[in-house]
Amino acid sequence: MDLADFERSEQAYIAHTPILRTRLYDRHGGGVEITDFAPRFQQFGRLFCPVMLMRQIRPLAGSPRIRVRIRPLCEYGARRPAMTWAATTCAT
């Protein structure tokens, strides 16, 4: 992720958690907060720990301009996934 006119950043884990919080600020007083975590939840009396990472991005101040680029990889980044194309439909 890139923040236009980036000036400074702050980064720390939320106390006693594996949740990483990053704050980026631009030269115009704008800022965004990025929270990275691995979801965990209870369902059917069990703790589910899906193999995924989540990233939440929210504005803090001003009108920050960000660019998000997504490049999914397989096997912990060792190779690119096979690409397939399909039509999708939406229920109304």
Mean pLDDT of all residues belonging to the chain: 88
Cβ-proximal residues to 71 (8 Å cutoff; 6+ apart), any chain? none
Report, as ranges of residue numbers, the positions in the chain whose pLDDT lies below 50: 92
pLDDT score at 49: 85
Residue 11 near residue 36, CB atoms below 8 Å? no
pLDDT score at 75: 83
d(CA 15, CA 73): 30
Phi-psi region of 18 (alpha: psi -120 to 50; beta: other; left: phi over 0): alpha
Residue 63 CA, distance from chain mean position: 19
